[in-house]
């Protein structure tokens, strides 16, 4: 067990390793390859703001229960900060810090005028009734009013939240300021200013990046490519559906309780229907049961970790049986695992590129909301593909130029852009 110091607060963490330690290790690796001013390097290590709130929620039986929430702005160099809000029992300030930092690099990599932010509430959303969830979302939003606005920080859905939570956030903010502000959040329902294609965007983007990687390796026969996907939430389910639609063979998927495997391929629409009815994949007919850990080491051409951070570690990386990893989740691979994967010659398309489809279409939604001028789904998907392929190309060029792995290349590209903008703006005051 590794005991180490948390960078921003000198508290001891007994974990292997925390998300923030992974984020900082990746950052250090990338900046060591760049010729940057040491003051700029030090500045970008630190989150700009960290906000912790404790707030009451009235449960259905009349009890008042206290909840803790966070919002971290890592950077505002490139523009307002942008990032999701997750409801999970795993939420910690440390995790939110890491996710905010990754958001900064992700937005920079795909050239969006945003810095990174992230938020979360320590709660299991499955234990809340609809009314309790609304109360929690509205009160959390009210606590964030000093930090959020369409020009300052724009929340979005993440693990445990979705369009309905964004609708409540938008309404709470709008009621507070006295007029309707659709651009305060992205990922909201289409009938109150959401964007076509936003729900599918992250999963679709993962597959766009996967196809680009396959093409560059000279592999274009979809029917022979097998894919295993850990996670069947918004990202994993849409990635699976789009992959199957294009003719790829999805052999395994999993949710929080475990997964299903069929070497001949799963019928993804049937899996989605089963999931909607049963709220679990367990018991899906015509497939073998696998654990989340087992899914990661199944034989496949492409492995898509689309669940939690820290899933691929030094312990299971030697046992992976895949040719390519495309990261649908944020931070699913530890730095030690990265080294093993690179040594084994497995191509890894990193999270800040592979799952940037969500924030890209969030940007489209924000632009549409600010202009009150809306696009059709074809325009959304066309622009999404254009931005992701351009970003993939830039990353591949950096990779070739410096002889580094793809994650380091993506981070180098993103960090260089933020560093250049910081030096142009200068240090205030």
Task: Check if the beta carbon of residue 56 is closer than 8 Å to that of residue 146.
Answer: no
Which helix (H) or strand (E) segment holds residue 121: the answer is strand 115-122
* pTM of structure: 0.94
Secondary structure letter of residue 318 according to DSSP: G
**Which of 19, 33, 22, 10 has the alpha carbon at shortest distance from 399?**
33
Task: Check if the beta carbon of residue 156 is closer than 8 Å to that of residue 169.
Answer: no
pLDDT at 230: 98
Alpha-carbon dihedral of residues 317, 320, 322, 328, nearest 10 degrees? -60
Task: Check if the beta carbon of residue 251 is closer than 8 Å to that of residue 300.
Answer: yes
Task: Say if residue 234 is in the same domain as residue 345.
Answer: yes
pLDDT band at residue 385, thresholds of 50, 70 and 90?
very high
Mean pLDDT value of segment 41-46: 98
Task: Say if residue 66 is in the same domain as residue 79.
Answer: yes
Inform me whether the pLDDT recorded for 366 exceeds 50: yes
CA distance 205 to 221: 19
Task: Say if residue 179 is in the same domain as residue 206.
Answer: no
Q: Provide the domain count of the chain.
A: 2
One DSSP character per residue, 87-115 reads EETT--HHHHHHHHHHHHHHHHHTT-S-E
CA atoms within 13 A on the CB side of 360: 31
**Which of 238, 256, 257, 230 has the alpha carbon at shortest distance from 312?**
230
Mean pLDDT value of segment 287-291: 97
pLDDT at 17: 77
CA distance 401 to 424: 25
CA distance 200 to 414: 24
Q: What are phi and psi of 316, to 5 degrees?
A: -105, -15
Secondary structure letter of residue 135 according to DSSP: H
Mean pLDDT value of segment 104-126: 98
User: Does a structural domain hold residue 12?
Assistant: no
Task: Say if residue 72 is in the same domain as residue 185.
Answer: yes
Inform me whether the pLDDT recorded for 268 exceeds 50: yes
The 3-state DSSP class for residue 255 equals strand
Mean pLDDT value of segment 300-315: 96
CA distance 427 to 429: 6
Q: What is the CATH number of the domain that holds 268?
A: 3.40.50.720
Q: What is the CATH number of the domain that holds 81?
A: 3.40.50.10860
Take residue 12 and report the two structure tokens written for it. 């001891």
User: Does a structural domain hold residue 329?
Assistant: yes
Give Dmax over CA atoms of the chain in angstroms.
65
Question: Considering 165, 194, 223, which residue would you say is the last residue of a domain?
Answer: 194
pLDDT at 8: 41
Secondary structure letter of residue 256 according to DSSP: T
User: Does a structural domain hold residue 378?
Assistant: no
Alpha-helical (H) ranges within 110-196 are: 130-144, 163-177
Task: Say if residue 178 is in the same domain as residue 309.
Answer: no
Specify whether the backbone of 76 is left (phi greater than 0), alpha (psi in -120 to 50) or beta. alpha
User: Does a structural domain hold residue 382?
Assistant: no
User: Does a structural domain hold residue 232?
Assistant: yes
Which domain range does residue 173 map to? 48-194
Mean pLDDT value of segment 289-312: 96
pLDDT band at residue 219, thresholds of 50, 70 and 90?
confident
pLDDT at 57: 98
Distance of CA 324 to the CA centre of its chain: 19
Task: Say if residue 172 is in the same domain as residue 220.
Answer: no
Inform me whether the pLDDT recorded for 10 exceeds 50: no
Task: Say if residue 72 is in the same domain as residue 170.
Answer: yes
Give tens-digit pLDDT for 171-196: 999 999 999 999 999 999 999 999 99
pLDDT band at residue 16, thresholds of 50, 70 and 90?
low
Give tens-digit pLDDT for 48-89: 999 999 999 999 999 999 999 999 999 999 999 999 999 999
Q: What are phi and psi of 216, to 5 degrees?
A: -70, -15
Question: Considering 289, 319, 354, which residue would you say is the last residue of a domain?
Answer: 354
Take residue 105 and report the two structure tokens written for it. 């690099």
Task: Say if residue 228 is in the same domain as residue 186.
Answer: no
- The set of catalytic residues is 118
Question: Considering 354, 369, 400, which residue would you say is the last residue of a domain?
Answer: 354
Task: Say if residue 204 is in the same domain as residue 108.
Answer: no
In terms of pLDDT, which residue wins out, 285 or 11?
285
Task: Check if the beta carbon of residue 235 is closer than 8 Å to that of residue 332.
Answer: no
The 3-state DSSP class for residue 334 equals coil
Task: Say if residue 128 is in the same domain as residue 240.
Answer: no
Task: Say if residue 216 is in the same domain as residue 346.
Answer: yes
**Three-class SS of 178-230:** CCCCHHHCCCCCHHHCCCCCHHHHHHHHHHHHHHHHHHHCCCCCHHHCEEEEE
Report the DSSP beta bridge partners of residue 290.
Answer: 259
User: Does a structural domain hold residue 376?
Assistant: no
CA distance 145 to 250: 43
Task: Check if the beta carbon of residue 309 is closer than 8 Å to that of residue 120.
Answer: no
Task: Say if residue 145 is in the same domain as residue 161.
Answer: yes
Inform me whether the pLDDT recorded for 210 exceeds 60: yes
Report the DSSP beta bridge partners of residue 303.
Answer: 228, 325
User: Does a structural domain hold residue 409?
Assistant: no
User: Does a structural domain hold residue 307?
Assistant: yes
**Which of 141, 239, 236 has the alpha carbon at shortest distance from 184?**
141
Instruction: Give the dihedral sign, CA 171/177/181/184.
Output: negative
Inform me whether the pLDDT recorded for 12 exceeds 70: no
């Amino acid at each position: 067990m590794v005991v180490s110091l948390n960078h921003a607060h000198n508290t001891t963490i007994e974990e292997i390793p925390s998300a923030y330690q992974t984020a900082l290790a990746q950052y250090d690796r990338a900046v060591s390859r760049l010729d940057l001013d040491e003051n700029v390097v030090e500045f970008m290590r630190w989150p700009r703001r960290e906000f912790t709130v404790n707030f009451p929620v009235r449960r259905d039986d009349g009890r008042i229960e206290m909840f803790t929430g966070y919002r971290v702005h890592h950077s505002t160099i490139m523009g307002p900060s942008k990032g999701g809000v997750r409801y999970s029992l795993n939420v910690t300030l440390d995790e939110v810090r890491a996710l905010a930092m990754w958001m900064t690099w992700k937005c920079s990599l795909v050239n969006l005028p945003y810095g990174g932010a992230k938020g979360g509430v320590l709660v299991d959303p499955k234990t809340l009734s609809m009314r309790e969830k609304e109360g929690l979302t509205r009160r959390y939003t009210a606590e964030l009013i000093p930090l959020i606005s369409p020009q300052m920080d724009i929340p979005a859905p993440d693990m445990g939240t979705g369009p309905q939570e964004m609708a409540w956030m938008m309404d709470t903010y709008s009621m507070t300021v006295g007029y309707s502000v659709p651009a305060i959040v992205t990922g909201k329902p289409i009938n109150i200013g959401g964007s076509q294609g936003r729900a599918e965007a992250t999963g679709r983007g993962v597959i766009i990046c996967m196809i680009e990687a396959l093409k560059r390796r000279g592999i274009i026969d979809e029917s022979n490519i097998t894919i295993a996907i850990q996670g069947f939430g918004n990202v994993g389910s849409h990635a699976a559906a789009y992959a199957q639609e294009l003719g790829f063979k999805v052999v395994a998927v999993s949710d929080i309780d475990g997964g299903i495997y069929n070497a001949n391929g799963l019928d993804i629409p049937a899996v989605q229907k089963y999931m909607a009815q049963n709220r679990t994949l367990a018991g899906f007919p015509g497939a073998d049961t696998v654990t989340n850990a087992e899914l990661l080491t199944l034989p496949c051409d492409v492995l898509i970790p689309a669940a939690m951070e820290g899933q691929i570690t030094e312990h299971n990386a030697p046992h992976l049986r895949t040719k390519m990893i495309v990261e649908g989740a944020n931070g699913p691979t530890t730095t030690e695992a990265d080294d093993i994967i690179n040594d084994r010659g497995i191509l890894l398309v990193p999270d800040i590129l592979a799952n940037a489809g969500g924030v890209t279409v969030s940007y489209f939604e924000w632009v549409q909301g600010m202009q009150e001028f809306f696009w059709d789904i074809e325009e959304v998907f066309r622009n999404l593909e254009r931005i992701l392929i351009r970003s993939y190309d830039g990353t591949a060029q950096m990779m070739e130029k410096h002889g580094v792995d793809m994650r380091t290349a993506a981070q180098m590209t993103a960090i260089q852009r933020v560093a250049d903008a910081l030096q142009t703006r200068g240090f205030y005051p």
